[in-house]
Each structure stands twice: as structure tokens, then as C-alpha cells.
Chain A
Amino acid sequence: GAVVSQHPSRVICKSGTSVKIECRSLDFQATTMFWYRQFPKQSLMLMATSNEGSKATYEQGVEKDKFLINHASLTLSTLTVTSAHPEDSSFYICSAPPTGRVDTQYFGPGTRLTVL
């Protein structure tokens, strides 16, 4: 079946540094990708919708200058956490519906970010 990969799977960084997380659709094209954040033992909260060739759409309360999203191609979206702080530590998950499909989304395995 269709696969979405995320890289890295785990990252530990110092406070104040920036971290880039990649989300790739491996065998299908995705005009749109979604970024979620999951705190321990909580649900997935939608952060933003990444659109190929245009600006991302952010959910209310999500700082667009802190969480930079770039959808460079039909198979790649990146999330950069800028000037990371300990409160940004979380599990970040991306998902992607194949272009034109509304009934299916494929999820990446997630990236565990720990900010010291």
C-alpha cells in the first residue's frame, strides 16, 4: 500500500536551535499534506495544512513564524521548528491524501522531538 515516510524519527536538540522534519509520500503524489502534533497520552491536533506551490494554512493558535512549512514538491513537505524550546517537545505526525482522493489518508510514522 501507499507509504508516507518521516525523517528523522527522533531528534534531540538544544533550546534555541531549529529542527527540520521531512514528510515524503513514497509512491503517490500529494498536493496537500497535513501536520499534526501529539502530546503524551493526548490526541492528534491539526497544526497546519501544507499546500504544494502555495502557503500553508495554519490552525488557530499555531504560530506560523515558529512552525515553518514548505511544500516543495508533490511528494515532499517539511516542517521546521524554529528557535525550539522545551515546550515544543512533542510527537509530530504528517499525513497525506493522494491527490484527488478524499476517502483515504496515509500517515507517517511520526517524529519525536525533544528539546533540552
Chain B
Amino acid sequence: AQSVTQLDSQVPVFEEAPVELRCNYSSSVSVYLFWYVQYPNQGLQLLLKYLSGSTLVKGINGFEAEFNKSQTSFHLRKPSVHISDTAEYFCAVSVNQAGTALIFGKGTTLSVSS
């Protein structure tokens, strides 16, 4: 079975500062990794995903993540955050098998203040 650990439940940062949201996963097989963002009372929006190939993945809104197989991590980064980035961020994992659901981490609340 797969599992996801998001190491920080809350990350407060100032506007224009860099941010890293940490995610570690556990799996005995190869995985696909995802980062989603959720704004209050809304559904999930895909930020980026890693399927294979280059370990550095670029997503929307200036976010990027790096897949590190040896450390089983998939940390999300942004060099300069905006107030509008305040939201809940979820890391998720799935496997290459049809009919398999995403397994989510507990989420990280990113709070950007001026």
C-alpha cells in the first residue's frame, strides 16, 4: 500500500518570500505523484504531477516540485509567493494501475501575509 506524509501542517510566510512544502511517500512499487491546491470551499486544482522522466516538474502559478527517489520525496517549491497563494496544498500518490484512487496526505496550509 502507498502512503503520503506531509511534514508541515501549517507554513506561514511573508509575501515575495520563497516557500517549500514538504512531501514524503511510501510505496513498494513505482508511483505517480501529484500536488493539488484547494481554496476555501472549493474543489481541487492540479498544480503539477510527476509520472516519469525529468525529476524537476514545473506546474501552474509558478510552482515546481522535484522527485527524489532515494529520499522518497516530492517537495513543492515556489521562489516568490503571493497573497493569492494562501490555500491548502495536498500531496497525493497513485500507482500505474487502472482503477486506482489517489491517496492524499493530510495537507499543508500555506498562509501568505504582507
Using CB atoms and an 8 Å cutoff, list the residues of chain A in contact with chain B.
Answer: 31-32, 34, 41-46, 49, 51, 93, 95, 97, 100, 102-105, 107-110, 112
Q: Which of B43, B51, B107 contacts A93 (CB 8 A)?
A: B43
- Evaluate whether A110 and B43 lie within 8 angstroms (CB atoms) in the complex, with A34-B101, A43-B106, A44-B104 already known: yes
A-B contact pairs, 5 of them (CB 8 A): A43-B106, A49-B101, A95-B102, A103-B49, A107-B44
Separation in Å of the A49 CB from the closest CB of chain B?
Answer: 6
Scoring A31, A41, A45, A51 by chain B CB atoms within 10 A of each residue's CB, the highest score goes to A41
Question: Looking at chain A's contact residues, is the secondary structure mostly helix, strand, loop, or mixed?
Answer: loop
B44 adjacent to A102 (CB under 8 Å) = no
Interface size in chain B (residues, C-beta < 8 A): 25
Chain B residues with CB below 8 A from A44, complex form: 44, 90, 104
- Evaluate whether A93 and B44 lie within 8 angstroms (CB atoms) in the complex, with A46-B101, A46-B103 already known: yes
A51 adjacent to B107 (CB under 8 Å) = no
Within 8 A of A (CB), among B59-114: 88, 90, 94-107, 109
